Amino acid sequence: MPYLFLSPSLQPFNEYVNGGNEQQYMNLIADAMEPYLIANGIHFDRSDENGSLRDAIKSSNMGNYDLHLALHSNAAPPSLSGVLTGTDVYYKTGSYEGENAANIIADNFKTIYPNPDKVKAVSTDSLAELNMTTSPAVLMEIAYHDNTEDAQWIKDNITSIAKNIVQSLTYYFDIPFIFDIVSPYEARVDTNGGNLNIREKPSMEAKVITTAPDNSPLLILGKWENWYLVNYDGHIGYAKGNYISS
């Protein structure tokens, strides 16, 4: 299953025009993403809220992540303060995977941002979290916190933003998006004596990650059609619902 490094803003000094700050609200979005990440089988680590940008990059580079995702809100130059609106999804110039992820995130974000024409993927060579991370990386400027309407939109749509971003990640990782969040619960393998195949994706043609003997305990993380996303002995993958009883 995919592995994400989640890096919400470490900039409490960037104040919102209507109260609060960038670090506060980007971490609230990251908090809201976590149950969707779990329900969709996306492993993740998260930067230390009390650390530095250097620490976040170092932590990211210590792991073998499929994507580094940084969450920020934006501010215009002083001459345009409060005027600009929109969403910029940045990727490193020349990074095929970064560009692919940025385009997916931007295209899907247009479905929830009030002015979809102002949502775009942007290449850049100037951002440390894109240039200094070893994994494919995307930095998302969700909206302008110095603009009253944009700042309020972020505050009013924490869960919708989080859900939309995780949905984009499932598109990027080529796994189905599980909409319904459930608290993980225990079930058992019910194969009448055989082993249950746990697969990389919800398809009978997908790679088998591991097998679970009959009557083994499983942790159910989510459900998509007739497949369960399960955690068996630390292995997370998809198993046919016909062979699981709760």
Residue 217 bridge partners (DSSP): 188
Domain 3-173 and domain 185-245 have a common topology: no
| pLDDT tens series, the chain, 246 aa | 899 999 999 999 999 999 999 999 999 999 999 999 999 999 999 999 999 999 999 999 999 999 999 999 999 999 999 999 999 999 999 999 999 999 999 999 999 999 999 999 999 999 999 999 999 999 999 999 999 999 999 999 999 999 999 999 999 999 999 988 888 999 999 999 999 999 999 999 999 999 999 999 999 999 999 999 999 999 999 999 999 998
What pLDDT is stored for residue 1 in this prediction?
85
The third-level CATH classification (topology) of the domain covering 185-245 is SH3 type barrels. (2.30.30)
CA–CA separation, 64 vs 180, rounded Å?
A: 28
Classify burial at 202, counting beta carbons within 10 Å of its beta carbon; exposed 0-12, middle 13-18, buried 19 or more: buried
What are the sequence ranges of the domains in the chain? 3-173, 185-245
Question: What end-to-end distance do the CA atoms of the chain give, in Å?
Answer: 23
Q: Does domain 3-173 have CATH number 3.40.630.40?
A: yes
Res 182: pLDDT: 83
Quick one: which of 162, 245, 178, 189 has its CA closest to 41? 178
Backbone angles phi, psi at 133, to 5 degrees: -95, 145
User: What does the pLDDT read at residue 246?
Assistant: 80
